[in-house]
Amino acid sequence: MVTQIKISRTKHSRISEIDFKNLQFGSQFSDHMFAMEYIDGQWQNHRIEPFGLIEVHPVSASLHYGQTIFEGMKAYRGVDGKIRLFRPDMNHKRLTDSCIRMCIPPVELETFLSAIEELVRVDHQWVPPYEGQALYVRPVLFADEGSLDVRPANRYRFLIITSPVRGYFGAGSPAVALKAEEKYTRAIQGGTGSAKVGGNYAATFLASCQGRDEGFAQILWLDGVEHRYIEEVGQMNICFVLDGKLVTPPLRGTILPGVTRDSVIQLTHDMGIECEERMIDINEVIDGIKNQTLQEAFGCGTAVVVNAVGSIGYRGQQYVIGNGEIGPLSQKLYKLILGIQRGEVEDTHNWTREVAIS
């Protein structure tokens, strides 16, 4: 059963303040947001209301104990003018897994999809028109009960906000330099590394700030036991092209199961390229760079689609991959995924979901 969503529209749209030719990432928000509360054992008060500040209980477990999770996806404006979501069912599955891990009551698929679609419909003018741009959709779910007890809360909030974002990866944008991190750890088995949990990200800030000071764009995380096996990057999964095969770390509870990662694996498989999901030793990567059997490396995630890795810093040395620029498979996958999202390339896997604007 789909619950009715009550819609209250703003009287003061901010759409005219947006310069779609000069979008930033994540600092401008559309006119409306979706909200609902979990009270007395059920999600209720489903609504779309003007975007604005909210009141939160000062003793909420999300503020004190970090009981909060989120998701990230995009709505794309196609070449045909239609608006599409990309595999939102996978975001729902991951949200549900994150809910289970953090003892947060899950949200049904129909509620999740209709909330996103209705919100995108109400703010459809905020879906940017140019290639590479999109309306970023950010669901967030957090405890909001006034109790200092260290236990799962009895009350929660679910919000969805949207933000028009630029394409990350304009033509000629440089491949990034990563730092293989040996001191800090992002996740360990049995922890929360495979869930999109707020605290996972705060815990990485110190390493990424130090890396930035040393000239690295992002951190390449290694396993938390030996600091030897490759895990992932910030908000991207990592893939390598090694001896003509696509090689990427396995989902073993310490990395995020990315929607883009899954799509990259399927599309590469469609191209007849062999894919291996396996543990990758950092030394195998460094050796591969040195003897040129490692042809490409790229990060993949919703924000960037595919982002080439130009070099890896490890133990004070910088290792440049190939000529340090975007490789052919990275380029091809970027174009292909963007093409599917924009309705330019046939969607053979039935991944996109149109948001009909009446």
Ligand X SMILES: *Cc1c(COP(=O)(O)O)cnc(C)c1O
x/- track of binding to ligand X for residues 130-159 (CB under 6 A)? ------------------------------
Distance CA 157, CA 95 (A): 14
Instruction: Give the residues across from 219 on adjacent strands.
Output: 179
Residue 254 in contact with residue 194, Cβ under 8 Å?
A: yes
**Beta carbon nearer to ligand X, 260 or 352:** 260
**Beta carbon nearer to ligand X, 30 or 91:** 91
Query: With binding defined as CB under 6 A, does residue 3 bind ligand X?
Result: no
Instruction: Determine the longest span between alpha carbons in the chain, in angstroms.
Output: 62
Distance CA 66, CA 143 (A): 8
**Beta carbon nearer to ligand X, 69 or 83:** 69
**Segment contacting ligand X by CB under 6 A, of 156-164, 258-266, 268-276, 319-327:** 258-266
Query: With binding defined as CB under 6 A, does residue 191 bind ligand X?
Result: no
Q: Which residues contact 308 (CB under 8 A, 6 or more apart)?
A: 175, 176, 296, 297, 298, 325, 326, 327, 330
x/- track of binding to ligand X for residues 47-86 (CB under 6 A)? -------------------------x--------------
Query: With binding defined as CB under 6 A, does residue 302 bind ligand X?
Result: yes
Distance CA 69, CA 311 (A): 32
x/- track of binding to ligand X for residues 221-240 (CB under 6 A)? -----------x--xxx---
Q: Name the amino acid, one letter, at 104.
A: I
Instruction: Give the residues across from 44 on adjacent strands.
Output: 37
**Beta carbon nearer to ligand X, 163 or 237:** 237
Q: How far is the CB of 238 from ligand X (least distance, A)?
A: 9
Distance CA 259, CA 268 (A): 14
Return residues touching ligand X (CB under 6 A). 72, 196, 232, 235-237, 256, 258-261, 301-302
